Amino acid sequence: MTKNTIMPIERAFDEYLEYCEFTRRMSRQTLSAKRWVMRDFRASVPASSLSEITTQQVNNWIATQARRGLNSRTINTRICHVVAMFRYFRDMGVEMPELKIRHIVKQKETEPIRRVFYTREQIEQVLGYCNQIQWLLVKLSFDCGLRITELRNLRLMNISDRMIVFVGKGGKRREVHMSREARERLTQWIVSRRIDDYLWQKPNGTLLSVEELRHLMRQPFYLAGFRNFYPHALRHSFATDIQRNGATLMESQEMLGHSNAVITQRYLHGLDGQMAACFERLKFGGVAQ
C-alpha cells in the first residue's frame, strides 16, 4: 500500500481485517470480535477518512463504552483492537496528524473479576422461561461450555449426532458434546427452520449478531430473577459443574478447550477418543436427559 492520507475509513477497515485474516491468520473468533469493534467505532466517530480521526474522537468513543456499563477489561480489549489498526496504518505510511496514540486513555482495571455461575437447578429454572431459540442457546452453552462467539458461529457442518467439532480460540480443534435432550430439540429447530448452514439466522437469512444473542439469552435469566447475567457466566457454570462432578485438571482443561501452552500442551492428546465418555460421565451421567 502506498502512502495515502485520505483513505476512507470503510476501505481502511476492510484492508486491516484482510491483513488480520490472511497475513496474520487470526482465528474466526478474533476476527469476529475485531469486525464488531470496527463497526461500533465507525458508528461513533464522525470522521470519513483515517486522516480526520482525532484523539478526542477516540476518547469520546471510549467514554461511550463506559456509559453502556461495560467493565474496564472489556473496554480495554476493544481499545487494543482499534489501536492495533492505527499502528498498522502508521507502519504502512498513512498519516493521521490529529491522532496521538499515547494520549488514548485506557480504563483502570480496578473492579474484581466477576465470578457469577449457575447451578444445574438454576439453569433448569431459567429454561422454564425460554422460547425455542433461547432454550437452545442457554442449554448448549451450559452443556458444552461454549464461548458466545463459538455459539454464534455454529454450522451444520460442525455437528455429528451429539458431538460438535470446530476450530476454537487460538486455532485449537475443539470437541464438545451435548445432552440427548439438547440434540432432540436442536433437530426440531433445524427441521422447522429449514437450516442448511449456520444455526442462528434471521428470517432474511442474515446471521444473528453476538449482541443479539446476548439479548436473547439475557431475557429468561432476568425473568427468573437473575439480574447480573452475561453469557460467559455459562462457561464458568460449565467449569464449576464438571469440577463438582469430579473432573480432573486434565479433563477440565480439555473440555473447556483452553490453549494455554504451559498447562494444556502436556495433556494435548490425553483425552483423544475419550471426550464423549467425559461429557457423559461429568455432564450427563445420572441426570435426566
> Phi/psi at 235 (nearest 5 deg)?
-70, -40
- Superfamily for domain range 120-284: Intergrase catalytic core (1.10.443.10)
Would the pTM of this model clear 0.85, i.e. be above it?
no
Going from N- to C-terminal start, the domains of the chain cover 9-100, 120-284
pLDDT score at 170? 64
9-100: in CATH 3.40.50: no
Residue 140 banded pLDDT, cuts 50, 70, 90:
very high
Write out pLDDT tens, residues 81-104: 999 999 999 999 999 999 999 999
pLDDT digits (tens, 9 = 90+) for 213-257: 999 999 999 999 998 898 988 988 888 888 788 877 777 778 887
* 264 and 270 Cβ atoms separated by less than 8 Å: no
Pick the range with the lowest mean pLDDT from 2-11, 23-32, 206-215.
2-11
Distance from CA of residue 231 to its chain's centroid? 9
Query: Residue 273, SS3?
Result: coil
d(C-alpha 135, C-alpha 147), whole Å? 16
Give the Cβ contact number of residue 285 at 10 Å: 11
Give residue 224's pLDDT.
95
Dist CA 198 CA 3 (whole Å): 40
C-alpha–C-alpha distance, residues 279 and 112, integer Å: 31
